[in-house]
Structure 1
């Protein structure tokens, strides 16, 4: 039976930290990117496929397709779910995807975001979305790499 071993918010999606630290830490063998824009961009999907180590499966899906996919058994796969924004995880949880935890790893600064925690930035709307995810019974933590101590986001949202 498949298992979601990591659900991570990272606006970079696949990059060195995910490929090395998180894949090894979780023993993951299947990356599922859930992002509408990326799923519709054939060039970007090709680049993502070239970034994944041999032996690791990759699916790049829209939120709707990702929700359906993640609710079905994927055999013995250990799945890492990656999304750019917390809104995607709220949509997945509301659609019935069983998530126990969402780890915030990379949300860079931009003109709409303010500092949330160390080098993590979030808009007021993203903060509200984290609260809604927590209200659905999902633990939200901040952890850049597995060797970092996880910080409970709930305490930062009060």
Structure 2
């Protein structure tokens, strides 16, 4: 057995209201794993994230390498996980490290805009590195990569959105 991943989501805001309430009640995890090397080193952000977890669900902030290690460790088979990364590139690193997301695919919730980026949806902005990472997950890892802010929203295939934007 391996860890039961209920949702793998990229969201530049990480653990916030929509994730803590709506997504958690939909996918019913017993653990939220925020996977980010940067946040794992930032004591304040780490504390804020662990405190934002909804009642009954524990949140941990771990590095990309730690997630890869614990995914295959049978001691963590009891985890019903909601995995959050800040970037698509971190999700690619997990997949390349052996974390199996074939059951869930990759949900892209929001990627914040910076100058020079292209808006794919009202909540998702991409630069070339994000485009390359999405293409890798879809084309090479053969994963369903989709935009969906909340469960009630219709899934939007990101490879289709990239093609429509000429990316």
Q: Which has the higher strand share?
A: 1
1:124 deviation in Å? 1.6
Matches within 5 A, 1:1-158: 2-73=3-74, 74-100=76-102, 101-134=105-138, 135-158=140-163
Matched residue SS, 2:160: helix
Unaligned regions of 5+ residues in structure 1, if any?
Answer: none
Q: How far apart in 2 are the matches of 1:12 and 1:20?
A: 14
TM-score by length of 1: 0.94
Q: Which runs of 5+ in 2 are unaligned?
A: none
RMSD: 1.3
Runs of 4+ in 1 over 2 A off after TM superposition: 70-73
Cα distance per residue 1:4-38 (max 9 Å; x no partner): 00000100001000011100110111000110110
- Equivalent position SS for 1:111: coil
The one-character-per-residue Cα deviations of 1:116-141 (angstroms, maximum 9, x if unpaired) are 12331110221111001112111100
TM-score (norm 2): 0.89
